[in-house]
Structure 1
Amino acid sequence: MQKKNFLPILALAVGHLVTDLQAGALPIVLPHLKELFTLSYSQLAAIVLTQNITSSVIQPVFGYITDKRSMPVLLPFCAAMAGAGFAAIGWVSSYTLILLTVIIIGIASATYHPQASKTVNFLSDENSKAKNMGIFSLGGNAGMAVGSILMTFLIGLQDGIHNTMYFILPGLLVFGLMMKYMPDYKRVNAEHSLKKAAVQIKAASEKLSYTGMFILLFFIFMRSTIHTGLSTYLPLFFMKFRGSEAIFASALVSAFLLGGVAGTYTGAVLSDRLGARRIILGSIILSIPTIWLISHAGTEIGAMLAVVASGFFIIGSFATTIVLAQTMLPDNVGMAAGLTIGFSVGMGGFGVTILGFIADNFGLPLVMQIVTWLPVAAAIIALKIPIPASLRK
């Protein structure tokens, strides 16, 4: 990567952080919304599902649109819009309005991710794509962790859930930062459009079958169900079945997401050195014992360590799978980003909805047992993912 491109990429990562603050903060406000509006577990799961559909499942549509016509100028507006949407969630007066604010946040996120991800790809050279995607992905996972920590702090202040209004400030600040590098974003997107024909010829040998892409997306769906399921139900499980205080239960979510931040960047850097196969398979296998320890640890410290390790390993292949999909679809890198960051991750929301139904009818302990075994199935799927020659080591 040319040094002059590092700061523009870093700005996109910061924008990713701000856009994803809301995703980390939402699990923290869910228990309070449940009490305030007397919601069932299924209604809570429906909120998560709405967020995932609007922010993730429809991302490939926006990715396809940006592949046809790049729109980097929308990036700063998306970050600001996401913050404004979450700022309102603490002030709504009905369940319907909660869903409406979640939809606003989701549309902003769905627009940001494909365009930003493809711009990172265009700013990177062949030997730094995974690393740079790791920096970008780290921004998103850090945003989820920071959002969780920030909301935990804010909800403990005098105005409680009304303090969501402060989430509008980061969006306004990052707006100016991203506008500073807008000439770079417009330049690389324009250059890519001019070189697209040459890239198609060069990359044709890297294209894989639709079956290979389906296997990759199914693996990401499984990984997302595990990740979103834990971040959604950990606080409720520890408060109801382990007798933990609300502040410790919220801290578990923050620790889980912070572990994911470290795992995202570590996995991305190692992917350039060890190859995609080892990172994808290794990370999911190593998550199996750590997830088991979450519900079996005898102390709060043990549970906290297990949560951090689980977050680290589960999401360690995040950047690797994005680059892998973009290599499989070299002519549609925006749509590839939408499929990996968005659609298959968002489909995890359907998995969480099923887990919510199980929790309502059979209890949260069974949900924790199911989440413990899901990485085993995901590891078997990972063995079948085809890896292009350029990503093997």
Structure 2
Amino acid sequence: MSNTAAAAQTISRSNETSFKILIIIGLCHLLNDSIQAIIPAMFPILENSMGLSFTQLGIIGFALNIVASVLQPIVGMATDKKPMPYALPIGLTSSMIGVLGLALAPSFEYIVISVVFIGLGSAVFHPEGSRVAYMAAGSKRGLAQSIYQVGGNSGQAMAPLITALILVPLGQIGAAWFTGVAAIAVGLLTYIAIWYARNLRIEQSMLNKKSKSTIENQKGLAKGVKFALVLILVLIFARSWYISGMTNYYAFYTIENYSFSITQAQIFLFAFLVAGALGTFFGGPLADRFGKKRVIFLSMIVSAPLTILIPFVPPTAAFCLLTVTGFILMSSFSVTVVYAQELVPGKIGTMAGLTVGLAFGMGAIGAMVIGRLADIIGITDTMILTAFLPLIGLLTLLLPSDQKLNEWNQ
């Protein structure tokens, strides 16, 4: 009788949503991504102080994001086999070292080295952070992933405010303030790691059982799963390149076309990114109700005509379109992660590392390519071309339906 009661209690506990843990890991995601956000936020500062070209700025963005992109899936695969709770605070310690180095870097080369340390911290944080969100989700998986991801997007949205309030008045040395942000994140993640380690044995046992049965059911569906996963990665590519173009270079577009100051340009980016954070939060619950495929499709296709219009309208209209576009386009951010995790059950860290890591990696390549394109044809024409990327969202029509995913997982 006691064994039966214990089993029932375990099942009941696994269906409960731990909002306390979700809020803390979401806050840590905010702090982690706000540290990353200071790098593109510093681009106008570095261009003025060091005379860097768009290509060099793109290389800095590439150095940050490609490290996270390459290592995130690797970390995810490793932790699927053997979860590492205390890797979370260790990763943020690497970011703390990197942000201090960024503040003190005397040359382009040292900046690249510093952002590599920040990329390493991000590579460790994201797959393990997503696993914590999954463990704390209970039966509300979409909502849990939205809470976790909205923290990160909120951190990214802080970049324009960071530029206007800290980096413009203080310059490069202002990045040193974020060593304190990193220290707070390390402390919170230590608490998370203790909770993670305590709950790991029960959760991992349940995941292993589910993983084995799911893998057996999916042997005959390998081709369909692989095709769907490739489509998801292509959609992430399109979204990430567009967002990379906006976050890294739209400020230069407004300075050239609207005669804005750096501070004025950051207000437009802030609106875009805050709206994106809100879209991320609402996307998960909407997908739980209306379907993941439908939300992914609509987020790409509805935003496409808006992105195409943005370079051709006056400042006031551009501000409004940016805000709406950010909300709609980013509503699929957390949904693509959940879709991939349900596409390949039992590989929570791997799928989180692959989808979120690919978003970083595609953003890295996009930053470099778009920066090079801006040097060749000019920032205005580059922004016009970038605006067509969300049209790739038409490929969503080829994804398996939510019902098909459920059939595969039975």
TM value normalised by structure 1: 0.93
Does the 8 Å CA contact 1:285/1:375 hold for their aligned counterparts?
yes
Deviation at 1:263, TM superposition (A): 0.5
Alignment-derived partner of residue 320 in structure 1: 335
Residue 46 (1) aligns with residue 46 (2): no
Residue 7 (1) aligns with residue 11 (2): no
Indicate which of 182, 186, 191 corresponds to 1:180: 191
Alpha-carbon deviations, 1:283-317, whole Å to 9, x = none? 1112112213321222x322221111121122110
Alignment-derived partner of residue 287 in structure 2: 271
- Structure 2 unaligned blocks of 5 or more: 1-13
Deviation at 1:344, TM superposition (A): 4.1
Alignment-derived partner of residue 323 in structure 2: 308
Deviation at 1:96, TM superposition (A): 0.5
Structure 1 SS opposite 2:83: coil
The CA distance in 2 between the partners of 1:347 and 1:267, in whole Å, is: 21
The CA distance in 1 between the partners of 2:160 and 2:16, in whole Å, is: 32
Alpha-carbon deviations, 1:146-197, whole Å to 9, x = none? 243123210233x322111110112212332332343321133322332344
Alignment-derived partner of residue 345 in structure 2: 330
Indicate which of 359, 362, 365 corresponds to 2:374: 359
Residue 65 (1) aligns with residue 78 (2): yes
Does the 8 Å CA contact 1:221/1:345 hold for their aligned counterparts?
no
Alpha-carbon deviations, 1:224-266, whole Å to 9, x = none? 0011111111101111222112111112222211111001011
Deviation at 1:384, TM superposition (A): 1.6
Deviation at 1:4, TM superposition (A): 6.5
Deviation at 1:382, TM superposition (A): 1.6
Deviation at 1:346, TM superposition (A): 1.4
Does the 8 Å CA contact 1:119/1:189 hold for their aligned counterparts?
no
Does the 8 Å CA contact 1:18/1:79 hold for their aligned counterparts?
no
The CA distance in 2 between the partners of 1:197 and 1:161, in whole Å, is: 47
Alignment-derived partner of residue 9 in structure 2: none
* Structure 1, 51-60 or 97-106: larger mean CA deviation: 51-60
Structure 1 SS opposite 2:303: helix
Alignment-derived partner of residue 105 in structure 1: 118
- Structure 1 unaligned blocks of 5 or more: none
Residue 371 (1) aligns with residue 386 (2): yes
Alignment-derived partner of residue 226 in structure 1: 242
Deviation at 1:67, TM superposition (A): 0.9
* 1:105-184 alignment, distance < 5 Å: 105-125=118-138, 127-157=139-169, 159-184=170-195
The CA distance in 2 between the partners of 1:386 and 1:3, in whole Å, is: 29
Letter in 2 for 1:385: L
Deviation at 1:272, TM superposition (A): 0.5
Letter in 2 for 1:191: I
Structure 2 SS opposite 1:359: helix
Residue 193 (1) aligns with residue 193 (2): no
Does the 8 Å CA contact 1:56/1:343 hold for their aligned counterparts?
yes
Alpha-carbon deviations, 1:40-90, whole Å to 9, x = none? 111111111111101223210111111111011121232343244223313
Does the 8 Å CA contact 2:45/2:171 hold for their aligned counterparts?
no
Over the aligned positions, Cα root-mean-square deviation in angstroms equals: 2.0
Indicate which of 364, 382, 388 corresponds to 2:396: 382
The CA distance in 2 between the partners of 1:26 and 1:20, in whole Å, is: 10
Alpha-carbon deviations, 1:83-112, whole Å to 9, x = none? 442233132101100000110000000000
Alpha-carbon deviations, 1:117-158, whole Å to 9, x = none? 012112222x4111100000000001111243123210233x
Structure 1 SS opposite 2:110: helix
The alpha-carbon distance between structure 1 residues 232 and 341, as it changes in their structure 2 partners (threshold 3 A), is same
Does the 8 Å CA contact 2:163/2:266 hold for their aligned counterparts?
no
Alignment-derived partner of residue 238 in structure 1: 254
* 1:201-220 alignment, distance < 5 Å: 201-204=212-215, 205=217, 208-220=224-236
Indicate which of 248, 262, 278 corresponds to 1:262: 278
The structure with more radius of gyration = 2
Deviation at 1:267, TM superposition (A): 0.9
Structure 2 SS opposite 1:58: helix
* Structure 1, 168-177 or 310-319: larger mean CA deviation: 168-177
The alpha-carbon distance between structure 1 residues 119 and 164, as it changes in their structure 2 partners (threshold 3 A), is same
Letter in 1 for 2:317: G
The CA distance in 2 between the partners of 1:222 and 1:264, in whole Å, is: 17
Alpha-carbon deviations, 1:333-388, whole Å to 9, x = none? 10100010102441232123222221111111221111121111x22222222244
Alignment-derived partner of residue 346 in structure 1: 361
Deviation at 1:216, TM superposition (A): 0.8
TM value normalised by structure 2: 0.89
* Structure 1, 98-107 or 72-81: larger mean CA deviation: 72-81
Deviation at 1:202, TM superposition (A): 4.0
The CA distance in 1 between the partners of 2:72 and 2:93, in whole Å, is: 18
Does the 8 Å CA contact 2:85/2:128 hold for their aligned counterparts?
yes
